[in-house]
Amino acid sequence: MVNIAVMGYGTVGSGVVEVIKTNGDIINQRAGDEINIKYVLDIRDFPGDPIQEKIVHDIDVIINDPEIKIVVEVMGGIEPAYTFVKRCLEAGKSVATSNKALVAKHGAELLSIARERELNFLFEASVGGGIPIIRALNSSLTADRIEEITGILNGTTNYMLSKMFYEGADYDEVLKEAQDNGYAERNPEADVEGYDACRKIAILSSLISGQQVDFEDIYTEGITKITKEDMLYAKKMGMTIKLLASSKRCGSCLSAIVAPALLKKGHPLYSVDDVFNAVFVNGNVLGDAMFYGSGAGKLPTASAVVADVVDAAKHLHRNIMTMWKSEKLELQPVGDTSRKFFVRMSGDAEARRDEVEKLFGEVKILTVDGVEGEFGFVTGVMTEGEYAGKAAQAEGILHMIRIEE
């Protein structure tokens, strides 16, 4: 029997208990031993819930019990999760977590502690919920030099953008609907400002580069400025708008960005709608691969956590996780990255054509029925810095969206 403890009995923690209860026979068979939840740590009590007999309120109960071999951390946030996880690893217990904030900030250190003690610090559920992207990078794609990872990594914003695109709804309307349906928090900032996706791409970037990528260094732009008008232009161009988190290799460094982007119909992420997530990976040997599925939610996330528990149970005394160094990787400045840009500008299209083309070169002017007093155009390929310089000289720019080729 392999005894485990679950830290946190919220949405994901209760999901972990449910998954182990529902699929216990299969899980035990695959682990090669019986997985038994001995403790559940929470500050609350749960009278009437069968889990109450396992509830403990003191982390030391878990730390000091030599029978506990694996600890699941699903508390969220940095503290006390970081302190608890570090103490568990130092006490000789492997850890499986869904905590993206913890992994993004302290992943290198916790991986190092686990390796020194021949334990495992596993975090499949921290990126993409139930999509097995971490495991793929850690085992299946180790023969490849990963050139690019681009993903739709936040289900809330993807749901909102899908609604705006297909139903013509405005931002405030779809945000309220997302909140009413439980897809968005009352304070949706982490999702709609791109911070959630940023932490996830920081983790993936650290994995493929082997060095620490700080999420604070990644240029991040959310979806709060996306409008119905943007969607009408996208449809006119045969494109859609998605919030993309992207990391691309540029020589010896990486460029990383989180921002809304226009995608053509041929792009592999074009048709990823609703609350689903997807990750596109390009390897120098493999070529292109796609990972698609439920990127969040109680049971998909819990499924990924329990898969890590099974992995840890199968490798109780052998470290299996790819590490990254704590040495910080300097990202390519966002101003040096190149792409095309879609720009909306106020005024009459023909009256301002010469002015626009003097700044941006030859462009294709776009107008949309029902959108008055403005026009759009697509630039040629230029760096972000070049675009910013030209945009500073132009009057009446209403919005800019990057184009993902």
Active-site residue list: 200
CA dist 97 and 111 (Å) reads 12
CA dist 81 and 16 (Å) reads 17
Burial of residue 175 (CB within 10 Å: 0-12, 13-18, 19+) is buried
CA dist 226 and 260 (Å) reads 8
CA dist 133 and 175 (Å) reads 28
| CA–CA–CA angle 311, 141, 287 (5° rounding) | 150
User: In one letter, which amino acid is 78?
Assistant: I
Does the CA dihedral 12-18-21-25 come out positive or negative? negative
Q: Give the burial string for 306-328 (b: 16+ CB within 10 Å, else e).
A: bbbbbbbbebeeebebebbeeee
